[in-house]
Amino acid sequence: MSSLGASEKLTSPQNLSRVLVVEPHPTLRTVLVQRLRQDGHLTAAVASAQEAIDLCRDQSPDLLVSAELLERSSALRLSKHLGCPVIVLTAQTGTEPLVCLLDEGAEDVLRKPFGLEELAARCRTLLRRGRSGLQERVTVGPLEVHLLLRQVTLRDKPVELSPREFALLCALLMPPGMVRSRQELLRMAWPPFSGGPRSVDTQVLTLRRKLEQAGLGEGGGITTVRQQGYRFSLDDLPE
């Protein structure tokens, strides 16, 4: 059931944010709550909407992170009941379901599988900026990344990327110019307990090729830093 003790409440000092994770899968639930606690959030995790309601009778969380479909409920319905913003975790593919969730009231949507660091960053953004301040786009030179719709354009032309390639690009762009080791990229762009250094190398290769073919120049702006990892550099973008 819950990651809290039977008598523990989802309350905290004023300087701590309260995050509630609602995820039926026990392993994913545990991993999510452990990662969010690393950022200093007071985080609880339960398996169902009813457990969430029971836990939050006295005080609503600052942010709900919930699987889209729950027994006898949904993430959107639960967030309205609790009166808090929600990041919806969904297994649906395609743009239309994502747009529908956003239009119906989700503050953010993440498709499974997703990287833990991406989720943590989105939680920090929502908690810091509130409901109206979610960063929707990242622009680096002629490259624009739409975080919510998971779309990439180069000089206003779409660049088709797989979900893993998109997550990898986001990891390299946050912020651009920073060297990311293979282990960092695994944490940021791969699901827990999956992938390895060779997986990173393979995905970097395919991402480079797609960005090159789109017209971003040799290497697609991604450089290899010997014995350290990879870097997306503004210096490598064409004039």
- In whole angstroms, give the CA distance from residue 205 to residue 160: 15
pLDDT higher than 90, residue 170 = no
Identify the H or E element spanning 103.
helix 95-103
Q: Report the percentage of the chain scoring pLDDT > 70.
A: 85
- In whole angstroms, give the CA distance from residue 47 to residue 163: 26
Name the token pair of 169. 């690009």
What is the mean predicted confidence (pLDDT) over 137-153? 82
> Which of these CATH numbers, 2.60.40.10, 3.90.226.10, 1.10.10.10, 3.40.50.150, describes 137-236?
1.10.10.10
CATH number of 18-129: 3.40.50.2300
Mean pLDDT for all residues in the chain: 82
Q: How far is CA 167 from the centre of its chain?
A: 8
pLDDT at 10: 53
pLDDT higher than 50, residue 132 = no
CA dihedral of 145, 126, 172, 236, whole degrees rounded to 10: 50
pLDDT higher than 80, residue 4 = no
Residue 110, exposed/middle/buried by CB under 10 A (0-12, 13-18, 19+)?
buried
- In whole angstroms, give the CA distance from residue 162 to residue 176: 20
Q: Give me the phi and psi of 21, to 5 degrees please.
A: -100, 130
What is the mean predicted confidence (pLDDT) over 149-178? 86
pLDDT band at 164 (very low <50, low <70, confident <90, very high): confident
Give whichever of 73-82, 126-135, 228-237 has the largest mean pLDDT: 73-82
Identify the H or E element spanning 99.
helix 95-103
Q: Give me the phi and psi of 216, to 5 degrees please.
A: -85, -5
pLDDT higher than 60, residue 239 = no
What is the mean predicted confidence (pLDDT) over 45-74? 88
Distances (CA, A) of 135 to 129, 131, 149, 165: 9, 11, 12, 20
pLDDT at 23: 94
- Domain ranges in the chain are 18-129, 137-236
pLDDT at 22: 95
The 10 Å Cβ neighbour count of residue 117 is: 20
Question: What predicted TM-score, i.e. pTM, was given to this entire model?
Answer: 0.55
What confidence tens digit (pLDDT) does each residue in 198-225 have? 899 999 999 999 999 999 888 899 999 9
- In whole angstroms, give the CA distance from residue 76 to residue 88: 8
Strands (DSSP E) contained in 3-71 are: 18-22, 42-46, 63-67, 69-70
Name the token pair of 6. 């039977």
Identify the H or E element spanning 154.
strand 151-154
DSSP reduced 3-state for 180: strand
